[in-house]
Amino acid sequence: MIKYIDQKTQFHLTTWLLICLLIYNVLDFETTYIALNQGMNEANPVIQWFLDLTGTIWVILWVKLAVYAHIFSMYIFNTKYRISSQRLRMQWAFGACMLIYATVVVSNLYKISTFPPTL
């Protein structure tokens, strides 16, 4: 059992988790974009409110971009945040978020593949 992981390894692990989380968010946007263009509805009520408010699908991308710009800027420029995000509980939280987004992407892909095509 590993009792100690050096700081460089923690930094790389956290960086990779954040990059993978960003990739899952892009995949979530892409599958949601395809699903909405096929005539499906957004299941997230907050995002649906933004869609109704703006009338455009691109608001999803802008919301995700704003959140990730904040997270990455905090991680890059704020030493205290970077050190706290390298703790094991934060890495588990990032991993849990990745699992949630992976589930959403798989669910979106399933719904897209089983949705009847529009003529």
Q: How far is residue 112's CA from residue 3's CA, in Å, rounded to a whole number?
A: 44
Position 6 confidence tier, pLDDT thresholds 50, 70, 90: low
- How high is the pLDDT of residue 29? 92
Q: Kindly state the DSSP code that residue 55 receives in the 8-state scheme.
A: -
Q: How far is residue 38's CA from residue 10's CA, in Å, rounded to a whole number?
A: 42
Domain boundaries, the chain: 21-114
pLDDT in tens, 82-115: 777 777 777 788 888 889 999 999 999 999 999 8
Residues 29, 64: contact at Cβ < 8 Å? yes
pLDDT in tens, 62-80: 888 888 888 878 777 777 7
For residue 91, give every residue at least 6 positions away whose Cβ sits within 8 Å of its Cβ, in sequence order, or none: 10, 13, 14, 17, 85
25 pLDDT exceeds 80?
Answer: yes
